[in-house]
Structure 1
Amino acid sequence: MGSMDRNTVIGFVLLAALLFVYLYISTQNSKELQYQQQRQQDSLAFVQRVRDSVEVLKDTSARSNLAVDSTGALRTVGEEVLTVVENEVLKITFTNRGGQPKSVELKRYQSPGDSSAVILNGTAFDRISYPVNTGANQSSQVADLFFTEPTVTKNADNSQSVVYTLPAGANGELITHQFQVKPAAYMVDWTVQMNGADKLLTQGAFNLNWQSRPVPHEKDASYERLQTNICFVEDNDFDYIMQNTEKTFEAPVKWVSVAQQFFNITLIAKDNFTSGEVRWTRAEDTASTIADVTTNLQKKLPLGAVASVPLQLYFGPNDYTILSQQAEDMDKIVNLGRDMYAFVRPINKYIIMPVFDLFRSFVGSLGIVILLLTLVIRLVTSPLVYTSYLSGAKMKALRPEIEKMKARLGDDQQAVGMEQMKLFREAGVNPLGGCIPALLQIPIFFALYSFFNSNIALRGEGFLWADNLASYDVIARLPFTIPYFGDHISLFTLLAVFTSFLISIYNMNMTPDQSNPALKYMPYIFPFIMLFIFNRLPSALTWYYTVSNVITLILQWFINNYIIDHDKILLKIEENRKKPKVKSKWQERLEQVQEQQKKAQEAKQKPTRR
């Protein structure tokens, strides 16, 4: 019995201990639950206080905006409030003054010389506006008015909506600017909504004014000014203007872009503007800006109390891949060939760009990518090069005979020309055989000129001593500026000029006619001209030209020493002379003209009888 009592006591003690632990845990959980509930209530109260504060601010702002001055216009005095919204590529600072972007930072691009991000739309001149009626014979520019502080909302698709409102009349007129910033996108959707549009607009006329003052983003601001232009799509056709001029739009306009060398701001109307004009003036080289651009665009809205204008704003790089995914024809902002050089655009689009992007996908250095691209181009054009060198070797083989011919005919250039044509025909040599392949390579050079000037992938990429392949390299600075040359010396340019000089000297040795003074000095004149043209061009282009020239020199040496058999060429020429020749009509006509000119010259030289 005593044992049972002891066991009973032990059991009760254990039960009491378990009960104590249970009560302790329950108490702690209850306290935690109360704490969480209190936090939730505090949070809800805080949110409500914020909402109340926002409503007060909205009411205050609305009353301020609704106040009119003695002229009947909405007041343009208020406190500017900035709101920053970001995605992966943009940092947009919005302002309640005009309810629009105040500046846009491109987070993935830096300014030359420092690590600061490229900023677009950042001057006091930059703004977008349109007039609204505020009373009888009274109007105000929206960009001068202060909207309420915005509501910023994150949507289910991770985009962000920024909404500005402006009470614009005593009868409930309201203007709303709604912006949508999508993830990792350079395009910002912008919708202008009007309640009371029939009162705010005169006969539904929506007259948008866009002012833009781009600033330099590259090392050579003067060169960047030359590359800046105004692009637009009018009547579904892309066009652009580069000079200080004014363009009037008489057909529907889809978009207008202020396009610098590597960046652009584009205003797009989803439903087209009906007409408009753009005026722009390029700044002087001493200015701290690129240009002043003023664009006026008109759109007729349906008459009614409610109106909506869907627009878009692009702030971003002139990247062909990115622009091709935006509005129609925006990829043409990237200058891959225009006007008289439009024929090189397909070469860039379907040959140069794919090969460049292929090498870029597995080669880290863009300088090496350019080298590989050059090798591919020279490999493809090697048959033309061989034909050119073979023609040059034939001309060189005929040089002794041409020299004897000149000694025999003296200064009679007419006779020398006729005899040379006869000699070439008998030997089966085409005097233009060396020129035609070289001419066929000109489109490739112009294609690469456009490609390297507009390829943003090169921007900020260094190679060897060049710190930026999109601009010139510098090995020395001059204490003065030489017109068309600059205030620097580019080593890639010197190498390109030197190798071009060597090629010119070699070609001179292959030319049978050495009597022309122009030909004698050409090896010196052409590289000298190149020095002034190339010194301010992108180092990517001068690096390509240097590599191409080195390959040319190697090919010339190899082909002439190991492929072309000069003895066989002489035998072939002798065989051609023995074959009967059939003159073409063009040759017959040419010889007739030369014969007539010779007779006319002889008639002039005969003494006149008295």
Structure 2
Amino acid sequence: TLKENDYMLDFDIVSQGLNTVLNTSKPVNLEWNMKTIRNEKSVAYENRYTELYFDKEGKKSYLGQGKDNKELVNKVSYIAFKQHLFASILRSKKPFETVELYSNNLVNDAKIDTVFTKFYKASLPIAFQNGGINEKMNLYFGPADYKILKSYNSNLEDIISLGWGIFGWINKFIFIPLYGFLGLFLSQGIAIIIFTVIIKLAMSPITYKSFLSQAKMKVLRPEITELGEKFKKDPMKKQQETMKLYNKAGVNPMAGCIPALLQMPVFYALFQLFPSLVSLRQKGFLWADDLSTFDSVLKLPFYIPGYGNHVSLFPILASIAIFFYMKMTTGDQQMQAPQQEGMPDMAKIMKIMIYVSPLMMLFFFNSNGSGLSLYYFISNALTIGIMLIIKKYIVDEDKIHAQIQENKLKEPKKQGKFQQKLQQVMEQAEAQKAANNKK
């Protein structure tokens, strides 16, 4: 039975007279095989999200991406042959006792225009009952869409990789409903832009806190430099005095890192979300003809390892945006912590990262979906704009300087446990150094 506007086919397997020709004390096997046909521009990108999923005693599991993956599994309720944005799912009313699953990766070289990406095989035992077979099953053949799969109330939506823990929670309960709502009345490209604006506005208080911390560190920079010159030959003493300066001025050197850490779950959740959005498939925006795959604007006559044989424009724009964003923020971040003896020069490392990070992004996203690259371009451009507004109209460095000077006249705040522990470690190191010098 196939219901109207549904992707789930209900069917029965019924036998008559098999007990006269077969040994009904042993089950017969239902063999289900599939070669997944390549549908997208990038073989490597599509194959990354093409996997065999199954329900293992009530919990989702899957076979690996490599060659000749086999597994015997007990109590299987469903088996899903997933192909990036599509899925074929076999579901049984009662769990199969022991299922033999097999997955083989057919892509040997991403440079070759491969027709098939994976080969799947499932061997499912069907037991005789009263000399015959009477099994009720369902076969889903359609898009790997979270909302559609969830509507069947069988945990089929678990085959969509939205991230583990808090990352999956953010996608399921915040981002998917929000983006789905925007997609009801906006084109997919405009929906991504509005979606990005909403997220950046929601995260703007964190951006403000981060920029405020950088502004405070910038005001303290001359005094930190002076301490560096004063205790040039005693790095440990310089570090202790710098920490005292932070405490006296009421500045937390780690405050600039905390906002960045708070944004990481959002960053990773979105990285998982966009490759799973079926609604982006074959939906164009500007020069991109399909937001679910890369937006090639130039075909190269050669293949660059790690980059491909084409040039995508959205990753270039995103890389340029992240370059200017890092250029704006790195200078102030270099002074957020004192240099430790024997440790790498963080200033030099961060200067290198200004150029390395955009380059890495350019290579990594060139063959990824253009919807994700569009998001990162708009996101970084908005962050630059928000920081410029904060710097020009909200954060007053003269007021910050006056507040810091006022804080210095007050009694220093009681150190937190982390700061106390750090101070103890530095004092112990200083004492050990002094003891070694006496020997």
TM-score by length of 1: 0.67
Provide the secondary structure at the position in 1 that maps to 2:422.
Answer: helix
**1:437 paired residue among 259, 263, 282:** 259
- 2:145 matched to which residue of 1? 319
CA distance in 1: counterparts of 2:28 and 2:183, whole angstroms: 47
Shift of 1:196: 2.1
- 2:222 matched to which residue of 1? 400
- 1:218 matched to which residue of 2? 40
Summarize the alignment of residues 7-86 of structure 1 with structure 2, pairs less than 5 Å apart. none
CA distance in 2: counterparts of 1:306 and 1:512, whole angstroms: 75
Amino acid at match of 2:100: E
Provide the secondary structure at the position in 2 that maps to 1:471.
Answer: coil
- 1:195 matched to which residue of 2? 16
Shift of 1:590: 1.5
The reply to whether residue 540 of structure 1 matches residue 371 of structure 2 is yes
The reply to whether residue 518 of structure 1 matches residue 349 of structure 2 is yes
Q: Residue by residue, what CA displacement relative to the aligned partner does 1:228-281 show, whole Å, maximum 9, x if unpaired? A: 11111121222223333222212x111101101111111111122111121111
Unmatched runs of 5 consecutive residues or more in structure 1: 1-179
The reply to whether residue 490 of structure 1 matches residue 322 of structure 2 is no
Provide the secondary structure at the position in 2 that maps to 1:392.
Answer: helix
Provide the secondary structure at the position in 2 that maps to 1:214.
Answer: strand
- 2:70 matched to which residue of 1? 246
CA distance in 1: counterparts of 2:233 and 2:32, whole angstroms: 69
Check whether the contact 1:282–1:291 (CA below 8 A) recurs between aligned residues.
yes
Shift of 1:529: 1.7
Check whether the contact 1:231–1:241 (CA below 8 A) recurs between aligned residues.
yes
- 1:583 matched to which residue of 2? 415
Q: Residue by residue, what CA displacement relative to the aligned partner does 1:68-125 show, whole Å, maximum 9, x if unpaired? A: xxxxxxxxxxxxxxxxxxxxxxxxxxxxxxxxxxxxxxxxxxxxxxxxxxxxxxxxxx
Q: Is the deviation greater in 222-231 or in 588-597?
A: 588-597
Check whether the contact 1:232–1:253 (CA below 8 A) recurs between aligned residues.
yes
**Which protein has the larger Cα radius of gyration, Structure 1 or Structure 2?**
1
Q: Residue by residue, what CA displacement relative to the aligned partner does 1:526-576 show, whole Å, maximum 9, x if unpaired? A: 212222222222111111111111111111111111111111101111121
Summarize the alignment of residues 398-437 of structure 1 with structure 2, pairs less than 5 Å apart. 398-437=220-259
- 1:181 matched to which residue of 2? 2
Provide the secondary structure at the position in 2 that maps to 1:462.
Answer: coil
CA distance in 2: counterparts of 1:413 and 1:463, whole angstroms: 55
Check whether the contact 2:63–2:103 (CA below 8 A) recurs between aligned residues.
no
Check whether the contact 2:79–2:91 (CA below 8 A) recurs between aligned residues.
yes
**1:359 paired residue among 179, 182, 193:** 182
- 2:392 matched to which residue of 1? 561
CA distance in 2: counterparts of 1:588 and 1:359, whole angstroms: 49
The reply to whether residue 373 of structure 1 matches residue 373 of structure 2 is no
Summarize the alignment of residues 225-374 of structure 1 with structure 2, pairs less than 5 Å apart. 225-244=47-66, 245-250=69-74, 252-283=75-106, 284-285=108-109, 286=112, 287-302=114-129, 304-326=130-152, 328-337=154-163, 341-363=164-186, 365-374=187-196
CA distance in 2: counterparts of 1:229 and 1:411, whole angstroms: 59
CA distance in 1: counterparts of 2:249 and 2:317, whole angstroms: 39
Q: CA RMSD in A?
A: 1.8
Residues 487/413 of structure 1: CA separation in 2 closer, same or farther (3 Å cut): farther
CA distance in 2: counterparts of 1:227 and 1:444, whole angstroms: 21
Amino acid at match of 2:253: P
Amino acid at match of 1:576: N
CA distance in 2: counterparts of 1:585 and 1:260, whole angstroms: 51
Check whether the contact 1:398–1:512 (CA below 8 A) recurs between aligned residues.
no
Amino acid at match of 1:189: D
Amino acid at match of 2:70: E
- 2:342 matched to which residue of 1? none
Check whether the contact 1:192–1:308 (CA below 8 A) recurs between aligned residues.
yes
CA distance in 2: counterparts of 1:494 and 1:290, whole angstroms: 28
- 1:385 matched to which residue of 2? 207
Provide the secondary structure at the position in 1 that maps to 2:116.
Answer: coil
Higher relative contact order (CA 8 A, sep 6+): 2
Check whether the contact 2:28–2:126 (CA below 8 A) recurs between aligned residues.
yes
Residues 605/381 of structure 1: CA separation in 2 closer, same or farther (3 Å cut): same
Provide the secondary structure at the position in 2 that maps to 1:398.
Answer: helix
Shift of 1:604: 4.7
Residues 201/373 of structure 1: CA separation in 2 closer, same or farther (3 Å cut): farther
Provide the secondary structure at the position in 1 that maps to 2:368.
Answer: coil
Q: Is the deviation greater in 408-417 or in 487-496?
A: 408-417
Shift of 1:290: 0.9
Provide the secondary structure at the position in 1 that maps to 2:90.
Answer: strand
Check whether the contact 1:399–1:512 (CA below 8 A) recurs between aligned residues.
no
Check whether the contact 2:24–2:128 (CA below 8 A) recurs between aligned residues.
no
**4+ residue runs of structure 1 moved beyond 4 angstroms?**
602-606
TM-score by length of 2: 0.91
Amino-acid identity (%)? 36
CA distance in 1: counterparts of 2:372 and 2:41, whole angstroms: 16
Unmatched runs of 5 consecutive residues or more in structure 2: 340-344
CA distance in 1: counterparts of 2:154 and 2:278, whole angstroms: 20
Provide the secondary structure at the position in 1 that maps to 2:165.
Answer: helix
CA distance in 1: counterparts of 2:304 and 2:70, whole angstroms: 32
CA distance in 2: counterparts of 1:390 and 1:348, whole angstroms: 29
Shift of 1:522: 2.0
Shift of 1:587: 2.4
Residues 301/416 of structure 1: CA separation in 2 closer, same or farther (3 Å cut): farther
